[in-house]
Chain A
Amino acid sequence: MNKVLITVATVAAISLAPAMANKKATETSPEEDLKAYQDYFTKRFNNEVPLNEFQNGVYSIDENSRQNWEAIEEFPPYEPFVEEGEEMWNTPFANGKGYKDCFADGPAIRGNYPYWDADRKMVMTLPLALNECREANGEKPLKYKKGPIATLLAYISYESRGQKTNVSIPEGDADALAAYNDGKNFYFARRGQLNFSCAHCHFESSGMNVRSDILSPALGHTTGWPVYRSKWGELGTLHRRFSGCNKQVRAKDFPAQGEEYRNLEYFLTHMSNGIEFNGPSARK
């Protein structure tokens, strides 16, 4: 696979992100956004990256780091955690019940999340659902960024590999649309001392370098979680990464699984509709 080059002409011609950002979130529908978003990245990388391949982030667009990654994938660092996660899934709670009782079609349930809970008027994510199951059965909730939650997610994600991202914003539900737009606004809003938006790096500068790191495209960002980052030396969740990114641009961080990050996850995952889940995954 060749290294995909971004020419200046390409960058100039495709100025979608500012276009999306300059409009009010409410001016375009989720369906329109999805098409625009996916077309943007397909064109940005010269039609050389098939849609599903974006699930591999920077490794779908850079040959050198892909080689590093393929060497590591020969015996991936997340494998032992998948087995530990399986044990966690199968171990009954103190009251004798288990995760199976909350999730009838488990453990391959990654593809069901996030979804809009119309009754509770909120975005429901997988980690939140897992903790609600625990609490309903008298167990303490797990912390959301790393540790046991990530291990459990590694097993669930592994079993769910191949499921296609399929987030829907229910037609006619104003609250769902508001949550989606909240996430969208978050993505395109400038933040922090460095005054960057998520889009600055992951749309307009995706494929380009920040010192020696290549910025991964936003498309496919949600499929591989939890991720074993070499940098962390362990697994971490999507909300851990949201937190890290915000801190990197010296912006205010929000609580993991709080409303802001759940709405952001809702928007972001929707944008990868059609791409297969492939967690857990390894990154630098």
Chain B
Amino acid sequence: MQTDTKRRVFLKRSAASGAVAVAVGAGLLTPQMVLAEWNKAAFESKSVEDVAKNLMGLEGAAEESADINIKAPDIAENGAVVPITVDVSMDGVETIAIIAKENPSPLAAAFTMGEGGVPFGRTNIKMGKTSDVIAMVKTADKTYMAKKEVKVTIGGCGG
């Protein structure tokens, strides 16, 4: 009985998100359970196409959209800390992904909208070299994208 409850909540995360929180609080769900939803396949994908397929269920290319605004430096001061902001002016956004194309594992972050979530996400990512930063946005019927090149140079001072 207990197992069924856990599994049901785990599978229908978005509908039962309130239940997840309560279950975690009540000790019914361990952090491990919530962790199980972390999309390993998407985060370990080695290409943008695989990320799109594993995270968004997309086959083929995403449509470029001007409604996706990426704010990122033209030249990153330090590749270890590159500030990225994605701001989307579309309705029905479910997920926003931040992808650094040339990173060994391109998918860095995915923001999933819960109830009332505004399609906006900002974090700092690591970039190993100059690369397109791609914001991929999933709505109910379609997946869109926008990109911006961020140059990453090697520091000279080292120390």
Seen from chain A, the residues whose Cβ lies within 8 Å of a Cβ on chain B are 64-65, 67-69, 71-72, 209-213, 215, 230-231, 233, 244-245, 247-248, 284
B residues near A212, Cβ cutoff 8 Å? 153-156
- Given A67-B73, A71-B73, A231-B78, is A248 in contact with B83 using a C-beta cutoff of 8 Å? no
Give chain B interface residues in 43-100, CB to chain A under 8 Å: 71, 73-78, 80-81, 83, 85
- Docked Cα-Cα span, A150 to B125, in Å, equals 25
List the 3 closest A-B pairs by CB distance, nearest first: A211-B156, A212-B153, A71-B83
Is the Cβ of B159 less than 8 Å from the Cβ of A68?
no
| Minimum distance in angstroms from B131 CB to a CB of chain A | 16
Contact with A along B121-159 (1 / 0, CB 8 A): 000100000000000000000000000000001111111
Number of interface residues of B (CB under 8 A): 19
Is the Cβ of A230 less than 8 Å from the Cβ of B78?
yes
Q: Which residue of B lies closest to A65 (CB)?
A: B77
- Residue of A69, A213, A231, A248 touching B80 (CB-CB under 8 A): A231
| Minimum distance in angstroms from A193 CB to a CB of chain B | 14
| Minimum distance in angstroms from B15 CB to a CB of chain A | 32
A residues near B74, Cβ cutoff 8 Å? 64
B residues near A69, Cβ cutoff 8 Å? 77
Tally of A-B Cβ pairs under 8 angstroms: 53
Seen from chain B, the residues whose Cβ lies within 8 Å of a Cβ on chain A are 71, 73-78, 80-81, 83, 85, 124, 153-159
Knowing that A72-B81, A72-B124 are A-B contacts, what are 9 other residue pairs whose CB atoms are under 8 Å apart, sorted by A's residue number?
A64-B74, A68-B76, A71-B71, A209-B156, A211-B153, A215-B157, A248-B159, A284-B81, A284-B155
What are 7 A-to-B residue pairs whose CB atoms are below 8 Å? A64-B74, A71-B71, A210-B156, A210-B157, A244-B159, A248-B159, A284-B77
- Docked Cα-Cα span, A245 to B158, in Å, equals 9
A residues near B80, Cβ cutoff 8 Å? 230-231, 233
- Given A68-B83, A71-B83, A72-B124, is A211 in contact with B77 using a C-beta cutoff of 8 Å? no
- Docked Cα-Cα span, A273 to B153, in Å, equals 35
